[in-house]
Chain A
């Protein structure tokens, strides 16, 4: 092993031969910093904790460069779960268990699959837009979002497969734009607005439905699809809950603003506007669900009763998320949407 003295000697010799090695000296002195900067000065896409150079052009222009705008607890652990729990729609779903279904059931499955194919487009595009606008110093958030984009891509893929696997086809597209009051998930330009809308409300509702997938599945393949998608969706919802929890603690001055986003989300949840909740009222997917849950188009009344219970469950789980994130004061102070409160009380 080289001694410091001999090292100095042959480093000098290397420099005399024309090698630079100044970077090596910088590296020797560099100690990785602890924690994440509150404000990111990174404009060059450098890796968080690496040594900046003075001669690199700034091309980052990242919109999000403040930790409290984007950060969430435990994202590293969540990202590892993203990596570990990837699955294949081609080989992990027992497609051979699908048997012909009656026309009304097949049409309902296909309508629901068409809905999920389309709505997963939103859940893929919108997080994707935020990745490259966020400083790489907050890489954990970026990683969680890009992993979500991967999951959503697999979801749109698996539901397209389901629609075309059993003698059916894709059905009517959905309208996710009309009747939206206030901001939409699509239009959100602010990360917390986007996250509260997509992760907390939109995906939260879908998660409840996926968790109850056994009730609307008619074979092992469909059960596997819903089960696996529920695992994925739970991670996406976790991004939002962990972010809101962080905001509650470190950006209390934004609580009122966040409550406004929740107002809008609840309004859509209660009315079905925006078309993101397949169990929402006045949705064609709620008819499809009623057929599936009841067991046929002639048993839709029974299906509607189950659907009402599902909506109550969605609200109950939403309230749990509010509590977990520290925004449950709205449940008790009269701010929460009255229709949701009614559902919650009915579910109790």
Chain B
């Protein structure tokens, strides 16, 4: 054995296609204990820092070399010693870095774990006392919508997660934390709707849910829908939920969800920007073009009365004040479209007010009303 000095076979790759490692994998000996010499790099001693021993700390030497693409279909951990002749275990459709990567995923994964919370224990459920009848009904509807948004997010990510190559384990682990979050959001909002002998409201209007679920060309496209289109809306709904909450428990619930959602969007925006920056020219233009039809779906959801009237009742406090509440909802929609445009532009997607669907642009022209939440 010669494990006391740093090893690295000369034919291991520095950058680029990880598959080269498998194709040029040295023959392994079947002699007992021969595996003790089978390492691409020895002598690694990562040290915990101020935030403990983080996944980012591990990205040293060859272990930190993220390949541009990988044709390794055998689930070999990045940097593990390859063995030639191992059959493929799966066909990972997303095996190029550009298709899923974001530099911040590794840190967001650790943040997700550090900021974990427990809806069933940390929310003061007994503080949620019965509210006026119409407010309660509206709250049930609002929470039903948010529970479904969370559940759909689980499904959307669930459709893609297992297609991602393990060369990019930072992204996969982050997305695992995201579906864990969405599971918690689902449960918490459903429980909130059912609290105080409540029941659930109507299902979502669903056009945009459908769009996210049925999109097939790539994770980047789905990510754009999930994080740049749906994400800002969900985040705004959480913010308004927090602003108009009538007790500490509801405020806590929405506040924690805001933290989670902001983290999800940080990955998504970084990924879409990474893809636009690294895909061939015109990719961002293509994403913008894709939005032309999608925006019509969005308009349908924005015009559907159920969610918006419920929110207007929550804001106004009753059906009697629904008109005042709806003025604030119109502000929310305007903010949403503005936010959507800003985020798309930040990511490099060709989306401006000039090429916005006229029906969406109409939301921008509504007059601003001062928020009345406490």
Which residues of A are at the interface with B, using a C-beta cutoff of 8 A?
1-2, 7, 10-11, 14, 17, 19-21, 23-24, 26-28, 30-32, 44-47, 49-53, 56-57, 59-60, 79-80, 83-84, 86, 88-91, 93, 95-96, 103-104, 106-108, 110-111, 114, 117-118, 121-122, 124-126, 128-129, 131-132, 136, 139, 142-143, 146-147, 149-150, 152-154, 156-157, 160-161, 164-173, 175-178, 186, 284, 287-288, 297
Contact = CB atoms under 8 A, between A and B. Distances in A.
The 5 closest A-B pairs by CB, nearest first: A90-B52, A132-B158, A46-B203, A91-B52, A153-B176
Interface stretch (B35-43, B216-224, B362-370): B35-43
Interface of B: 1, 3-4, 28, 32-33, 35-36, 38-46, 48, 51-55, 58, 60, 63, 74-77, 79-83, 86-90, 109-110, 113-114, 116, 118-121, 132-134, 137-138, 140-141, 144, 147-148, 151-152, 154-156, 158-159, 161-162, 166, 169, 172-173, 176-177, 179-180, 182-184, 186-187, 190, 194, 198-207, 209-210, 213-214, 305-306, 309-310, 313, 318-320, 322-323, 326
Contacts of B40: 169-170
Contact of A90 (B113, B116, B204): B113
Given A53-B205, A86-B113, A90-B114, 7 more contacts: A47-B186, A117-B77, A118-B75, A121-B77, A132-B156, A167-B42, A173-B74
Contacts of B44: 164, 167-169
A106 B4 CA distance: 11
Contacts of A139: 151, 186
A57 B210 contact: yes
Contact of A88 (B52, B161, B205): B52
B76 A118 contact: yes
Nearest to B72: A173
B45 A166 contact: yes
A125 B35 contact: no
8 contacts: A11-B319, A49-B199, A50-B202, A103-B4, A114-B77, A143-B183, A169-B40, A287-B33
B173 A153 contact: yes
A23 B206 contact: no
A19 B76 contact: no
B53 A146 contact: no
Contacts of A23: 141, 201-202, 305-306, 309-310
A296 to B, nearest CB: 12
A108 B39 CA distance: 12
Contact of A80 (B63, B120, B158): B120
Given A30-B199, A90-B51, A169 B41 contact: yes
A47 B35 contact: no
Q: Which of A44, A111, A169, A170 has the most CB of B within 10 A?
A: A169
Given A23-B201, A175-B86, A131 B148 contact: no
A122 B162 CA distance: 10
B187 to A, nearest CB: 7
B322 A170 contact: no
B38 to A, nearest CB: 4
Contacts of A122: 75, 89
Given A1-B132, A170-B39, A46 B148 contact: yes
Given A47-B151, A142-B154, A165-B53, A170 B63 contact: yes
A147 B80 contact: no
Contacts of B79: 169-170
A56 B53 contact: no
Q: Which of B39, B46, B309 has the most CB of A within 10 A?
A: B39
A176 B60 CA distance: 27
Nearest to A140: B187
Contacts of A114: 77, 80-81
Given A23-B202, A88-B114, A175 B154 contact: no
A63 to B, nearest CB: 12
Given A32-B194, A161-B46, A164-B46, A56 B206 contact: yes
